[in-house]
Amino acid sequence: MKVEFLKNSSTILAVDCSKNIGKQNERTLLMGKHASFSADEFFEAHEVPKNVVTCNGGEAIMLPRPRILVVDDMRSNIELLCKIFGDTYEVLFAMNGATALHIATTQNPELILLDVLMPEMDGYEVCRRLKSSHLTKMIPIIFITGLDDEGGEALGLELGAEDYITKPFKPIIIKMRVKHQIELKHAREQLTRLSITDGLTGLANRRHFDEVLSSEYNRHTRTGRDLSLILMDVDYFKIYNDTYGHVNGDKCLQRLAQGISSIVRSTDLAARYGGEEFACILPETDLDGAVSIAEKIRLNIMGLEIPHLTSLVADCVTISIGIFTARCVSGESEFHIIAEADKQLYLAKTSGRNRVSFKS
């Protein structure tokens, strides 16, 4: 038994490596800090000799298997489900609703097996809270209960649970249902990714850009902070396509996208705005900050040294950039920011290209 403490937390990650079953079948259990029994109690319950317990007080262990969270106030139920799922999944568990919410929010499980009857906060309430938080609403929930009650099952499904299993259950059936729900979750995630990504460049697509700009505009209206928008256009790209062909034109756009995304920060959104136009949304960024990022992007693109012998500004591919920084006010809309940044982009184009033009 090896015990490790997750960084900056009192959460204990306990990995049970039985010599007999080998590493393939190692079983992982996690206790939140609100768990109703201590690590010592846990080790005692599992008859783990204390002298093989080591604590490193450092990094969390990286475990490759998908995580599921088992929530039940009965230790015997948790142990049964650990036995069923321990060879396939990393099993986290919680014995009350508060711990379940904490683990669901911080440990990103792929699925939650949720008991209905628990003291203090019942499974329905846990489900309601998980499904109303944007951090946890995508996690599939399967209720497991001894209650064979039509109303309860309907309520569970109405609250957004994916499935409802009544005891006694057959291990093989519950395993298939869990596997099925995790596959569906992955398929949904893949669809979401595809629906917000530009197929050629891998940047955010125009639809996602529009959604993020709108929500950021509303957020900045509330906070009164600066919101900056960078619009970029590839110089003489039509001539590039005429010279090098559309296949190379596509390759060029892909390299430019990498050149842009390697500069922006994790809080920014880089998107393909149109054919050869790119955009970056820079939340809580003033004009100086935006100009600095835009200039870095411009130089980075030049540094790629993509040959463009028919360009009239340089012998490599360059971009023109327009920036607008807004103090968002209610009553206006995000289209105002786009229009102003577009004006600056036009200025950058008409005043010689391969440059940054800006306004706040």
Chain residues in the site for Mg ion (CB under 5 A): 73, 115, 117
Q: How far is the CB of 3 from Mg ion (least distance, A)?
A: 27
Rounded-to-integer distance, Cα 302 and Cα 300, Å? 5
Rounded-to-integer distance, Cα 223 and Cα 233, Å? 30
Rounded-to-integer distance, Cα 326 and Cα 328, Å? 6
Would you say 92 or 232 has its CB closer to Mg ion?
Answer: 92
Helix, strand, coil share (%) of the chain residues, nearest 5: 45, 20, 35
CA–CA distance from 140 to each of 74, 97, 211 (Å)?
Answer: 22, 16, 25
Q: Which of 4, 90, 276, 334 is catalytic?
A: 276
347: Cβ contacts below 8 Å, ≥ 6 apart:
322, 357
Q: How far is the CB of 13 from Mg ion (least distance, A)?
A: 24
Place of tokens 């036995």: 83
Q: How far is the CB of 118 from Mg ion (least distance, A)?
A: 5
- 240 by Cβ neighbours in 10 Å (0-12 / 13-18 / 19+) ranks as buried
Would you say 115 or 340 has its CB closer to Mg ion?
Answer: 115
Strand 67-71 to strand 163-166: parallel, antiparallel, or no bridges (unpaired)? unpaired
Q: How far is the CB of 176 from Mg ion (least distance, A)?
A: 24
Would you say 98 or 287 has its CB closer to Mg ion?
Answer: 98
Q: Is 276 annotated as catalytic? A: yes
The DSSP line for 238-253 is HHHHHHH-HHHHHHHH
Would you say 115 or 233 has its CB closer to Mg ion?
Answer: 115
Would you say 77 or 325 has its CB closer to Mg ion?
Answer: 77
Q: How far is the CB of 105 from Mg ion (least distance, A)?
A: 22
Place of tokens 């490193």: 56
Contacts by residues 82-87 (CB-CB < 8 Å, ≥ 24 positions apart): 82/27, 82/29, 84/171, 84/174, 84/175, 85/175, 85/178, 86/25, 86/27, 86/28, 87/21, 87/24, 87/25, 87/27
Q: How far is the CB of 68 from Mg ion (least distance, A)?
A: 18
Angle between helices 206-223 and 334-350 (to 10 degrees): 110
Over the Cα atoms of the chain, what is R_g?
27
Place of tokens 């809309």: 333
Would you say 35 or 256 has its CB closer to Mg ion?
Answer: 35
Q: Is the Cα dihedral 148, 71, 134, 261 positive or negative?
A: negative
According to DSSP, residue 6 is labeled P
Q: How far is the CB of 73 from Mg ion (least distance, A)?
A: 4
Would you say 110 or 115 has its CB closer to Mg ion?
Answer: 115
Residues known to be catalytic? 276
